[in-house]
Structure 1
Amino acid sequence: MRAPGLDLVKWLAMLTMVADHLRFVWPQADGLFVVGRVAFPLFCLAIAVNVARNEAGPLCTRSNLRYLGLMLVFTVLSEPVYRWLDSGSLTFSIMPTLVLGLLVAWGVHYQQGLARLLGLAALISGWLANDRLMYGLPGVLLPAGWLLARRHGGAGWLVPCLLAMAGNLTNGWLREHLLAPFTWLVLSAALFAIPLGVALLRCTKAEIPAVGRWGYAFYPGHLVLIKLMGGG
């Protein structure tokens, strides 16, 4: 069933992501980087909600295989587009981090050995590729962190909060300038995304267009558009 609150989460994630990437067109707009720190935690929340809405029964259902298949297809499609826009980037696009995050979340949610094996493999991959992944290993763990926080509540909410901030500290400049006001703005934005996502999910009567499967194509599509606008 359609969840208006989840659509709100997805729309805000996409809008803040676009705002962040507009820096390729207007490099002097540093404030857009801060705004963009909201996007990744919300995308991870969307993954956690999609995983949790299925009962912890069989892993290899048609919907799960379709979900993973679409993620993998658009991971492959997005990488050359991302390189076209940002040829100097030292990391992959955001998609590999999200795919590994999905597998770790499956390992937490499902009790089957296959799910645990995939989750463990994704966890090890995130650790080994920490320097090449956007948001690194903390980013890979964030969807599972959301799952655990929504399941247990209480102090469990510290997990996604800490992971959201730690993911940003994989950025070398931020890590080397921990006391800079800009760094604290970035970490505050990442932290703010957690209660914001919770609040958006509670908007069950929001009238907003649904984000369908076209949302998978939005990532590479908007990168192409920004490049054509003069980005990179």
Structure 2
Amino acid sequence: MQLIAMITMLIDHLGYVFFPGEPWMRIIGRIAFPIYCYLLVVGYQRTRSKKRYALRLFGLTLLSQIPFMAAFVTTGVNVIGTLFVSLLIIMAIDYFKDQQALQVLVALILLTATAWPLEELHFDYGTYGVLLVLIYRYLPNAWAMVGGHLALNMVWISAFHLSADIQFFSMISTFFIAGIHSASPATQTEIRLPRWLWRFFYPAHLAIIAVISWQLNDITWDQFVLWLTY
């Protein structure tokens, strides 16, 4: 799953920066984000130290921010920042794991409190991303995840007047995840990538994309800094 997420994300980002007229690359890219959300939940459940897990994610958010801004010419916050916020929310919810009513209340309060800054600061995927993480974390089974993700897409597209758009292709990932959950343990296989590759692929590939894009468009560091401070 890690390899699928990395490859489809790379195709998506190459399409966004270099081939904006090729929608098939963006469609393939919709596969990546749900997998990252799901693997965040899996990592959270398996980690020996949730605090260290959160700190690593925060460090990767900081490391990725400049490459993200440079590659996409944006002042928004990269997607690892969205995953980091999502992680903090599920940690807070699970702190009250023996009090279900209080968990629901905490979830509603945190979603309400983070919705405005996530959207105003242009976190990549924003509240949509947080909700998808919560779907993977708290819905009771894999096929409930499929229904939850479908409902999220429909509500989000309706609420923000988006076209019935390529985001629906992200459902492919949730169907894939549901299939893995439904398979017997004996048939489940997983390619484990080196940790350094999995952790640093995101900032590294964005930095490379930014350098190539700058070369092609004759952008200098001084121009980039001027744009940031404008």
Q: TM-score range by the shorter chain?
A: 0.7 to 0.9
Q: Secondary structure in 2 aligned to 1:199?
A: helix
Alignment TM-score, normalising by the size of structure 1: 0.73
1:40 Cα deviation (Å)?
0.9
Letter aligned with residue 31 of structure 1: W
Please say if 1:96 is aligned against 2:81.
yes
Deviation at 1:164, TM superposition (A): 5.1
SS in 1 for 2:213: coil
Which has the larger helix fraction? 2
Q: Alpha-carbon deviation of 1:140?
A: 1.1
Contact 1:94 1:134 in 2 (8 A): yes
Task: Identify the residue that residue 222 of structure 2 maps to in structure 1.
Answer: none
Residue 123 (1) aligns with residue 111 (2): yes
> Which structure 2 residue ranges, 5 or more long, are not aligned?
218-230
- For residue 92 of structure 2, what is the aligned residue in structure 1? 107
Highest CA radius of gyration, 1 or 2?
2
- C-alpha distance in 2 between matches for 1:164 and 1:63: 33
**2:142·2:178 contact (CA, 8 Å) conserved in 1?**
no
Question: What is the aligned-residue RMSD (CA, Å)?
Answer: 3.3
How many residue pairs match? The answer is: 205
Deviation string 1:29-71 (CA, Å, 9 cap, x unpaired) is 22111111111111110112223346xxxxxxx6212111110
In 1, are the aligned partners of 2:143 and 2:178 still within 8 Å (CA)?
no
Alignment of 1:41-190 (within 5 A): 41-53=34-46, 63-87=49-73, 89=74, 91-111=76-96, 122-131=110-119, 132-149=122-139, 151-152=140-141, 155=144, 157-163=146-152, 169=157, 175-176=161-162, 178=163, 183=165, 186-190=166-170
Question: Relative contact order: is structure 1 or structure 2 higher (C-alpha 8 Å, sep ≥ 6)?
Answer: 1
**1:39 paired residue among 32, 47, 69:** 32
Alpha-carbon distance change, 37 to 96 in structure 1, aligned in 2, over 3 angstroms: same
Percent identity between the two aligned chains = 24
Separation of aligned partners in 2, 1:155 and 1:137: 20
